[in-house]
Amino acid sequence: MPQGKKTGYLQQDFRLFHNRDRQMRTFSPHYHDFHKLMILRSGNVTYCIEGRHYELLPGDVILVPKGLIHYPVIHDDSLYERIIVYLSDDFFTKADEMGGSLKECFTKSRENTSFLVRPGGEAAASLSSLSRLLILAAADTGRGADVIRRCRTLELLVLLNRLLDDQPSQVFSEPSQANPVIARVLSYLNANLTDEDLSIDTAAAAVSLDRSYLMHLFKSATGNTIGKYVTEKRLFMARALLEQGLSVTEACYRSGFKNYAAFYYAYRKKYASSPQSRHDAQPQVEGE
């Protein structure tokens, strides 16, 4: 199974989708260069994000900060209906100019390594009402349709962030499945991405596990091998460094690659273009 592939692109600063299907599709682990928000309307779905598995209920909100590897598991052919919003950093920069710091829900999600919001009471009712408006906005093709979509998206983010302000200890729900050993391994890998000596052996030693057993455990929990996970994270870091204006050579070594040739090959294989290009076109994914 393909692992950790970067998918999707944004030509605008945000996109809104309303998707419905009954196919038992299989999605590979992947990440985006933008933030993703999903509201589940119906479906028998488990959402997997960085080794944490969430069994979703209608009304659940999934927050996926950019760069995190994730994928849904569709369990049957019941109607899988969801609202999806893709959000760039530019979107939040523009929103911040109006006040609000609306990116904080994603920031807190990453900080807490918790990605499921399950509102209750009045918040759940408000989200349900807003979801219906978002569905109408997604289908709108009339004058000012993009303005309506933007306003509804901003309203959604305000609702989520106010929920975070009012009930900080109750906003994020625990995953249905999360192996504490894998959590430690992921923490170790992400803390040491720029270390050229990072390896399966050093990761196994860090958590006092047999190398082979750790490889099996990691693949089962995340859908990725350790080596593939590290490469994907380093490529994401290198791409961000390139967008900041660093040279290709600087981006290569500062993101943990041992040699330029390996970096250049991996980058071209993933993005289908050389690392000099900052705006690589990728096939668009409209709704995992």
Confidence category of residue 7, pLDDT binned at 50, 70, 90: low
pTM here is 0.81
- Greater pLDDT, 136 or 175: 136
pLDDT single digits (tens) 53-64: 999 999 999 999
Can you tell me the mean pLDDT for 199-222? 91
Residues 6+ apart with CB under 8 A from 106: 35, 63, 65
Can you tell me the mean pLDDT for 169-196? 84
Q: What is the DSSP letter of 255?
A: T
Average per-residue pLDDT for the chain: 87
CA distance linking residue 107 with residue 211, whole number of Å:
33
Confidence category of residue 147, pLDDT binned at 50, 70, 90: very high
Question: What is the per-residue burial (b if ≥16 Cβ within 10 Å, else e) of 38-62?
Answer: bbbbebebbbbbbbbbbebeebbbb
Give the DSSP H/E element, type plus range, for residue 243. helix 226-243
Give the DSSP H/E element, type plus range, for residue 18. strand 14-21
Of the candidates 57, 11, 3, which has an alpha carbon nearest to the alpha carbon of residue 31?
3
Q: Which domains does the chain have, with CATH numbers?
A: 5-173 (2.60.120.280), 179-271 (1.10.10.60)
